[in-house]
Amino acid sequence: MAAPQNVTIEHLNGNWILNKELSSETDPILKLQKVPWLIRKAFAFATIYMKIQQYPIKDSEASQPSTKIDCIQTATGGLSGTTEEYVLDWELASHTDYFYGTVQGRCRFIHGATGKDGVIRPEFELQTATQSAEIKQFLRGEIELDWTKSPGFLVETQDGISDDRTPGLWVHTFVRNEKSGWTAEQVWGFEMIGGSRYYSRRVVIMTTKGQFICGRIVFDFVDF
């Protein structure tokens, strides 16, 4: 189900289901992240549910409150659930679960910039160690997985307000697994797919050996 207009990058609260038909094939991505074969196979056949809780939090060391996003995932087929917690302050934080192991990551809201073609796209400093210009182009929504031109992300305004200084609003995340030797960088936003508005995450996984894979994760909105 497409996301309603009142569900935005600042207000992701609700229940979601991973749309496997619109998402990239997950097994190559999980394999590069060294997720065990049995877990990958269980994931392939499971229905993945996600409850998102997004709310402001106070940080004693910051002058402005931060935003916290809790993604509580459950699944069918006996696959254990996980909870991913994101504090959008760009501070390093550690997380451990059975799926990805121990990772360190950080995340933040980002705004956009108007390109030479007049299109507003997310702007950020790429954290993935790569010389491939296509990786950032994909994450920004300039190109699709086959490197063809993409209409990209919709421009979400900040609480209904956007101006020339800070156009658009997205989420940017970066995590690193030192033990397994990979990084994952994502940009979250909304895209029009097949004429409907969907919550999507564009992601690139890269290993310390320079192998990488790009993908798009798409979610169906269920209810609040």
pLDDT at 110: 96
CA distance 205 to 88: 21
Q: Average pLDDT for residues 13-37, to the nearest whole number? A: 97
User: Which of 159, 132, 142 shows the shortest CA–CA distance to 202?
Assistant: 142
CA distance 117 to 145: 20
How does 135-173 read in b/e, with b if 16+ C-beta sit within 10 Å?
bbbbbbbbbeeeeeebebbbbbbbeeebeeeebbbbbbb
What is the per-residue pLDDT across 88-136, written as a single tens digit (0 to 9) for each? 999 999 999 999 999 999 999 999 999 888 899 999 999 999 989 999 9
> At residue 192, does pLDDT exceed 80?
yes
Q: What is the DSSP string of 197-223?
A: EEEEEEEEEEETTS-EEEEEEEEEEEE
What is the per-residue pLDDT across 52-92, written as a single tens digit (0 to 9) for each? 999 999 865 656 789 999 999 999 988 999 999 999 999 99
Q: How far, CA to CA in Å, does 98 sit from each of 39, 79, 81, 178?
A: 9, 11, 9, 15
CA angle 9, 15, 21 (to 5 degrees): 85
Q: Average pLDDT for residues 129-158, to the nearest whole number? A: 93
> At residue 37, does pLDDT exceed 90?
yes
pLDDT at 61: 62
> At residue 206, does pLDDT exceed 90?
yes
CA distance 141 to 143: 6
Q: Which residues contact 133 (CB under 8 A, 6 or more apart)?
A: none
What is the per-residue pLDDT across 167-180, written as a single tens digit (0 to 9) for each? 899 999 999 999 99
> At residue 161, does pLDDT exceed 80?
no
| pTM recorded for the entire structure | 0.95
pLDDT at 13: 98
Q: What is the DSSP letter of 155?
A: -
Please say whether the beta carbons of 170 and 188 come within 8 A.
yes
pLDDT at 133: 93
All structural domains of the chain, each given as residue ranges with its CATH number in brackets, are: 14-223 (2.40.128.20)
